[in-house]
Amino acid sequence: MRVKIPSDLLDDARNGDPDAFNQLFDLCSGHIFRFIYTRIPDLQLAEDLTGNVFLKVYEAINRGQPWKYTFTSWLYTIANNQIRDHIRRDVRAAFFPIDTHMNLPSREPDPFHATRDSLDAESLRAAIARLPDSQAQVISLRFLEGYGVKEVAAIMGKTEVSIRAMQFRAIKELRAALARDLG
């Protein structure tokens, strides 16, 4: 999430100002929703989990619980925990709808290129869905959400070295899978 959150807004939210919390929600909820939706492509469920994230944030702020890193890293950590809890409860494989976030127009308007681009996005989505969960999450945070390695490490509770290693392995696996799928 590349939203600049004013420090006075964070301070006001910490001090219990409901308007400040509503502004934080307005600034961040779309990003958190997209992050959750990339892992759990059920619109209603992603909305519910997004709501749960902000409920947990609100409760933590009311308890006076500080965030360890930046506010946005803390927010993504809570979102990640909500995703994990849901997957543990639901035990079905997480799916990664990458084309909903790429929304890249075809380079050319003709049906052949549009179909080819759609198949490429579908192949990429399928390849990401086959990645281990941690690697898929690194790909999502790094390339869809635009976080740096240090921020991803904070969100996932891993070292920067392990994030780089997961990213390297994920990209290597994606290249191999796409080479097989797209031949």
**CA–CA separation, 20 and 23 (whole Å):** 5
Torsion of CA 84, 90, 92, 96, to 10 degrees: -50
pTM greater than 0.85 (yes/no): no
Whichever domain contains 20, its CATH number is: 1.10.1740.10
Q: What is the pLDDT of residue 85?
A: 86
Q: Kindly state whether residues 68 and 153 are assigned to the same domain.
A: no
Q: Kindly state whether residues 88 and 12 are assigned to the same domain.
A: yes
Q: Kindly state whether residues 81 and 107 are assigned to the same domain.
A: no
Q: What is the pLDDT of residue 128?
A: 80
Q: Kindly state whether residues 109 and 78 are assigned to the same domain.
A: no
SS (H, E, C) the chain: CCCCCCHHHHHHHHCCCHHHHHHHHHHHHHHHHHHHHHHCCCHHHHHHHHHHHHHHHHHHHHCCCCCCCCHHHHHHHHHHHHHHHHHHHHCCCCCCCCHHHHCCCCCCCCHHHHHHHHHHHHHHHHHHHCCCHHHHHHHHHHHHCCCCHHHHHHHHCCCHHHHHHHHHHHHHHHHHHHHHHHC
Query: How many separate domains does the chain show?
Result: 2
Q: What is the pLDDT of residue 95?
A: 46
Q: What is the pLDDT of residue 94?
A: 41
pLDDT digits (tens, 9 = 90+) for 14-48: 888 889 999 999 999 999 998 888 888 888 999 99
- List, for the chain, all residue ranges whose pLDDT scores fall below the cut of 70: 1-2, 90-121, 183
36 is in which domain, residue-wise?
A: 1-95
- How big is the CA angle at 95 (ends 94 and 97), to the nearest 5 degrees? 150
